[in-house]
Amino acid sequence: MWVFYLISLPLTLGMVSVTLKYFASPDVPRYVLFTVGYAWFCSLSIIILVPADIWTTIIGHDKGGIAFFWSWSYWSTFALTWAVVPTIQGYEDAGDFTLKEKLRTSIHGNLVFYLSVGFIGLFGLILLIIMHKNWSGGVVGLAMACSNTFGLVTGAFLLGFGLSEIPKSIWKNADWSNRQKVLSHRVAKMAVKLDDAHQELSNAIVIAQATSNQMSKRDPLRPYMDVIDNMLVEMFRQDPGFKPSGGRLGENDMDYDADEKSMATLRRQLRIAREEYYRYRSEYMTYVTEALELEDTIKNYERGSSTEWKYISSFRPSRTGTLAPILDTMEWVWRCVLRKQLEKFLAIILGCMSAAILLAEATLLPSGVDLSLFSILIKAVGEQEMLVQVTAFVPLMYMCICTYYSLFKIGMLMFYSLTPRQTSSVSLLMICSMVARYAPPISYNFLNFIRLDGKKTTFEKRMGNIDDAVPFFGKGFNKIYPLIMVVYTLLVASNFFDRVFNFFGSWKRFRFQNEADDMDGFDPSGIIILQKERSWLEQGSNVGEHVIPLARNFNNMSIEIDSESMPGVCSLAFATFSKERNGSVPGFLNDILTNLRQNTI
């Protein structure tokens, strides 16, 4: 039992550390990193424990160790999700200047939220007593049941979206033409967002500097203003290339009261504007780099025979040395041939796994029929410890990835973001709270369609039966809600909701953004920005260094691109490509110009 656990535990710890290092902003405090890392580790420990629990249940082994580690992981994530992380998150989000005030702001905000939730919980408790007078699960059991029910119900929809979209997006991304269209739209959108974020940060800087200039040195609020001034000095020291614009100040932007709360608000707004700017800049650089690398790949593929199947990159100097020709050939084979085929193969494998999960969920209701592929495989491998645990771990991890994929999609639209090296403390804490909240329900859902001949795992015994704990959901809830998830997944896969939201145009902002949103032809502004970025790279500049003025032009003219101005955009795109490529225009540009001309008719 412990072989798999002892191997996977250090790997999980390493994966958490590398992930945190990759995504966390340099400004994230160490105690936040430790809290997030511990929450992620405990959540993934639950997922790792499930295969070991299945194995001990099959062989009827003593489960004392499993019970201890399960209690440690579950209650750690429970406390972190509902108490510790929200408090630290409110503390980090507050703009106050003292430890006491930041804690007070955090506790006040969380109390308001939990009082609202507690009122709903009290109503549910009264209803529970009325419907089930002999209920004896205890307060702890009720808390577990409500938490797990919330995770199961909401997690079913998150899982369903991921089961459909992950294989579909990988398959579409393997098509270079489609990916170019997506990236041209993403670059254009992100350039506009970057310009807006630059304007917001410039506004915040102008307001802070103006407030500082009009405040005397004897003002009682001067110590707080000095903290903000030092924040500005540090900001310019870390990024000397940042050039604030004049800003777009509104009538009430300078309307600050002379009190500590106003200074805290100013500090918080400056911090949020800074985090948003660098987040958008990081995302913009990522999309531009991917788009230019994809353009290099297509160019190398088309010129494979003339370059003797050697990869030539525009991002780095040519390799030198004895092994250089071999490495260049290997890179050409990987980027131009193997990578695309492996992505398609992976999409097929994940699609089959999604179909197998949906089939297992859909056949939970007939108790006498076991059509769960994973249940059949676990029984087939018999008492081979490693095979049993690997067979259980792979689909369970895939279910977690699908759920978390949907969580990140929601967060990017509303609450938080996961950006390489630019994820703020607040976003990291929000993400870790969500990850911890959904790990136990996902595992419980997985164990529902792993039928072990009537035997119950320690995990299931500790989690309890939701039918018994919360009866107003109705008997058979554990088997009915997966059917709803299956129907929802099939509707997502068939683009049913997209058609509905497109019919009611004003509802589009409420839906998930998927790859299909960015595949309606090439974006001319994105194409021009990419070519400008390549030109600036060849001149020795960095990606994103000169994009703000160009993005501002597109931002201002975006509402003016109609039937009269579209031909000018076509001509500009054609002229840009012709100049950059010495008169040669790639084939896909003809498609762009055709689409643009059709839109002008």
The answer, yes or no, to whether residue 406 has pLDDT greater than 50, is yes
Instruction: Let me know the angle formed at the C-alpha of 366 by 361 and 368, rounded to the nearest 5 degrees.
Output: 120
Q: Across-strand partners of 24?
A: 423
Position 202 confidence tier, pLDDT thresholds 50, 70, 90: very high
The DSSP call for residue 584 is -
Under 8 Å CB-to-CB from 62, ≥6 apart: which residues? 56
The pLDDT of residue 56: 85
Q: Write the secondary structure of 285-304 as one string of H (helix), E (strand) and C (coil).
A: HHHHHHHHHHHHHHHHHHCC
Average the pLDDT over 512-521 and give the result: 56
Q: Distance between CA 191 and CA 188 in Å, rounded?
A: 5
* Cβ atoms of 449 and 373 closer than 8 Å: no
Position 585 confidence tier, pLDDT thresholds 50, 70, 90: very low
Could you tell me how many helices (H) and strands (E) the chain has, helices first? 22, 0
The answer, yes or no, to whether residue 335 has pLDDT greater than 90, is yes
Match 């070519």 to its residue by tokens. 531
- 437: how many CB neighbours lie within 10 A of its CB? 23
The answer, yes or no, to whether residue 398 has pLDDT greater than 90, is yes
Exposed/middle/buried for residue 286 (C-beta within 10 Å: 0-12, 13-18, 19+): middle
Of 393, 294, 398, 388, which Cα lies nearest the Cα of 346? 398
Give residue 64's region: left, alpha or beta (phi > 0; psi -120 to 50).
Answer: alpha
Average the pLDDT over 418-430 and give the result: 88
Helices 566-580 & 587-600 angle (0-180, nearest 10):
170
**Mean pLDDT over all residues of the chain?**
80
Q: Which of 237-241, 254-258, 306-310, 575-579 has the lowest mean pLDDT?
A: 575-579
What phi and psi, each to the nearest 5 degrees, are found at residue 423? -85, 120
Q: Between these two residues, 374 and 122, which has the higher pLDDT value?
A: 374
* Cβ atoms of 482 and 364 closer than 8 Å: yes
Percent of the chain scored above 90 by pLDDT? 30
Of 56, 54, 66, which Cα lies nearest the Cα of 375? 54
The pLDDT of residue 579: 43
The pLDDT of residue 422: 87
* Cβ atoms of 254 and 247 closer than 8 Å: no
The pLDDT of residue 226: 92
Q: Between these two residues, 93 and 580, which has the higher pLDDT value?
A: 93
The DSSP call for residue 542 is P
Under 8 Å CB-to-CB from 240, ≥6 apart: which residues? none
The answer, yes or no, to whether residue 576 has pLDDT greater than 80, is no
Radius of gyration of the chain (CA): 28
Strand, helix or coil at 423?
strand
Of 151, 167, 154, 174, which Cα lies nearest the Cα of 355? 167
pTM (2 d.p.) = 0.81
The pLDDT of residue 594: 54
Exposed/middle/buried for residue 196 (C-beta within 10 Å: 0-12, 13-18, 19+): middle
Average the pLDDT over 526-531 and give the result: 90
Position 339 confidence tier, pLDDT thresholds 50, 70, 90: very high
The DSSP call for residue 317 is P
Q: Distance between CA 188 and CA 204 in Å, rounded?
A: 25
Q: Distance between CA 277 and CA 193 in Å, rounded?
A: 9
- 457: how many CB neighbours lie within 10 A of its CB? 25
Under 8 Å CB-to-CB from 444, ≥6 apart: which residues? 148, 152, 459, 460, 463
The pLDDT of residue 83: 87
Average the pLDDT over 302-306 and give the result: 87
Q: Give the type of residue at 347.
A: A
* Cβ atoms of 360 and 370 closer than 8 Å: no
* Cβ atoms of 192 and 547 closer than 8 Å: no
Average the pLDDT over 249-272 and give the result: 76
DSSP string, 318-387: PP-STTHHHHHHHHHHIIIIIHHHHHHHHHHHHHHHHHHHHHHHHTSS-TT----HHHHHHHHTTT-HHH
pLDDT in tens, 23-59: 998 889 999 999 999 999 988 888 888 888 888 888 8
End-to-end Cα spacing for the chain: 69
- 253: how many CB neighbours lie within 10 A of its CB? 15
* Cβ atoms of 190 and 280 closer than 8 Å: yes
The pLDDT of residue 103: 92
Q: Between these two residues, 147 and 93, which has the higher pLDDT value?
A: 93
Average the pLDDT over 284-310 and give the result: 92
Residues in the chain: 601
The pLDDT of residue 375: 87
* Cβ atoms of 530 and 187 closer than 8 Å: yes
- The token pair at 489 is 């997944």
Of 173, 154, 160, 172, which Cα lies nearest the Cα of 492? 160
* Residue 404: HSE in the Cβ half-sphere, 13 Å Cα cutoff: 20
The answer, yes or no, to whether residue 80 has pLDDT greater than 80, is yes
Position 459 confidence tier, pLDDT thresholds 50, 70, 90: confident
